[in-house]
Chain A
């Protein structure tokens, strides 16, 4: 465990955990955001038969760094009409909400920010924190587009939280734990032990679970997509009607923070899906470290597998963005309340029945 190692070096709880909480930010989120912004532009370009950024670096690889340098130099404009204190607090709140999620995500067997027993419940609660920041940003901007975007975003995030939680509940019922580390350790071995293929216990129940787990996965993927405001659920920032939604009035570094939080959220929800259904940090085929008896290699391999799975789901999010058209606000609510929630409800009862019988 990295925390124990840091504790041994620094001999202080506080310093060890401060260093530990800086790790995901600098080793993971910032490089990931750099990569994901570039990937998003490349994916969208290639899906439309364009080339995308090509000038800065090899195939535009340094484009995001150039963008950041530009954003740092941009003037920070606060409109006269805005509610200034709230306007300044909002990006902090949004980023706190999306970064707190990373505290409970198990990146590998050796690194989990905080191994709380309530892991998955905490993640859902922390992602609800973002709603407060978004509403605050929309309200403080004193702009009609911002407020509309923020209201839609809040309604959407809280609505789609319910199918997410119902699916998480079925996982809790099957595994009997809410600790993400334990959950990942349970799915060890090969890919047939993953929750999407019925979980680690071998028996008849495992095979009956499979179709329901696939339905569960589809429900949670759709609803997490809506929770991070990605297309086809991006009406909070529908460019053609609302300019840019709740961050219309933000510029410069504060805008960059909203952007960073958005990309961090994209990975966070992919990580939740990975941890719940696709074995977390477990390798699908076994470890090279075990093969050669090099034990320090295993956590690194686990980190690699976790990142690879997470980035795959981020890629699918980008893919969907260029495949599906945007939903209207009434269609969005219909999709959640009339389709996802009833299906998740029935699924919950059926899975409960299977586990008891």
Chain B
């Protein structure tokens, strides 16, 4: 007996099979005349400088981390959303407290500037900003 998830597995197999067959079938029709120029990396006709496999912008990592928190939250909330009505107001409050805690976490991230794609730059003090216009030294907290 095939379960419902078994049917989905067959869907996935059929999809993979379709792509493989289509690519292989096209192989008999299409030409294959590779030249050096064709097989260069396509970057607007210029010679490629360096490799793209380098350190990447850290912002993507932060986005992935925040996403992870919210995704785990959703996994926790789905069973709650299915049954909370049986417990009346109490059942709802349990979920609501959890949601509010998460909202607070989100507000903290927001306040800390982690949702900002371009973070404000920290400008180190220079001699000009330390000394006032009249020449007297300003008191700066260290």
A residues contacting B by CB (< 8 A) are: 3, 13-14, 17-18, 20-22, 25, 72-82, 91-92, 95-96, 99-100, 102-104, 113-117, 121-122, 139, 141-148, 151, 154-155, 158-159, 161-162, 165-166, 169, 172-173, 176-178, 243, 248-249, 252-254, 256-257, 329-330, 333-334, 337-338, 341-342, 345, 348-349, 352-353, 355-357
Contact = CB atoms under 8 A, between A and B. Distances in A.
B131 interface: no
Given A95-B19, A252-B26, A330-B117, A338 B110 contact: yes
A328 to B, nearest CB: 9
B1 interface: yes
Interface residues of B, number: 69
B120 interface: no
| Max count, chain B CB within 10 A of own CB: residue among A74, A154, A173, A357 | A173
A93 B20 CA distance: 11
A109 to B, nearest CB: 17
B47 to A, nearest CB: 12
Given A155-B59, A243-B42, A253-B23, 18 more contacts: A18-B14, A21-B7, A21-B10, A73-B30, A75-B30, A75-B31, A76-B27, A95-B15, A96-B12, A96-B15, A100-B12, A113-B8, A142-B51, A145-B43, A172-B78, A252-B30, A356-B88, A356-B92
Main secondary structure of the interface of B (DSSP, over half): helix
A352 B82 contact: no
Nearest to A114: B7
B103 to A, nearest CB: 6
A158 B64 contact: yes
B18 A25 contact: yes
Interface of B: 1-2, 4-8, 10-12, 14-16, 18-20, 22-23, 26-27, 29-34, 38-44, 48, 51-53, 56-57, 59-60, 63-64, 66-67, 70-71, 74, 77-78, 81-82, 84-85, 88-89, 91-92, 95-96, 99-100, 103, 106, 110, 115-118
Contacts, number: 209
Contacts of B74: 162, 165-166, 169
B92 A352 contact: yes
28 contacts: A13-B1, A17-B2, A18-B10, A21-B10, A21-B11, A72-B26, A75-B30, A75-B31, A76-B23, A76-B27, A77-B39, A79-B42, A91-B23, A99-B12, A99-B14, A114-B4, A114-B7, A114-B11, A147-B52, A172-B81, A173-B84, A243-B42, A330-B116, A349-B96, A349-B100, A352-B92, A353-B92, A356-B91
